Amino acid sequence: MSILVPMPLLDDFLVNYNLGQVILAMFILSLPVGFVFGSRKITAINVSIFGLLLTLAPSLGGGDVYFGYLGIILLVLGPMIYSIAK
């Protein structure tokens, strides 16, 4: 059974953060999944997907450019990690 969160409560929490910060927090929270399973491929796919999200989302919202740069770095690192995975 899921707990329903009222939208104004969620909106009041997220209004203080921009889209790049929320995506970065989701990336940091999802990163241990690859480590728990011991799979570098899962980690590489995770890095690549969040790199794509960080590259595209700030440009759509007119946000900070730094998250776009971080997305480009993650887009380069993701395939490199995938290529060395066993």
Total domain count, the chain:
1
Residue 13 maps to a domain: no
Residue 31 maps to a domain: yes
Contact 38, 76 (CB under 8 A): no
Which is more confident, 29 or 7?
Answer: 29
Residue 3 maps to a domain: no
- Computed on alpha carbons and rounded to an integer, the radius of gyration of the chain in Å comes to 15
pTM: 0.77
Which is more confident, 74 or 13?
Answer: 74
Q: Which residues contact 33 (CB under 8 A, 6 or more apart)?
A: 42, 46
Residue 26 maps to a domain: yes
Which is more confident, 10 or 20?
Answer: 20
Residue 11 maps to a domain: no
Report phi then psi at 26, rounded to 5: -65, -40
Maximum mean pLDDT: which of 6-15, 27-36, 53-62: 27-36
What is the pLDDT, as a whole number, of residue 44?
Answer: 95
pLDDT digits (tens, 9 = 90+) for 39-53: 899 999 999 999 999
- Structural domain boundaries, residue 37: 18-84
